[in-house]
Amino acid sequence: MPDTAVIRVDQLHALAGLLSLEEVAEQFSALSTVAQVSIFGLFEDALADVRAVLARTAASGE
């Protein structure tokens, strides 16, 4: 299960890295509000997955 958390964190890191590039940030700002919210929804979903894995790992004592 911890592998799932690592994969999700890697995905979040990659997405954050893209969004931190100036030209990508410019394109992001030109997106509709719905599109921007969808991208932040990816962050929210991935972080929820990581949290769930970490909670299960802590509960099982791994």
Q: What is the model's pLDDT at position 4?
A: 79
Q: Which of 42, 44, 45 is CA-nearest to residue 28?
A: 42
Report whether pLDDT(1) > 80. Answer: no
Segments making up each domain of the chain, as ranges: 2-60
Q: What torsion do the CA atoms of 42, 39, 9, 49 make, to the nearest 10 degrees?
A: -10
Tokens of 7: 């994969």
Q: What is the model's pLDDT at position 6?
A: 87
The answer to whether 12 and 46 have CB atoms below 8 angstroms apart is: yes
Q: Which of 52, 62, 59 is CA-nearest to residue 5?
A: 52
Dump pLDDT digits (tens) for 27-51.
999 999 999 999 999 889 989 999 9
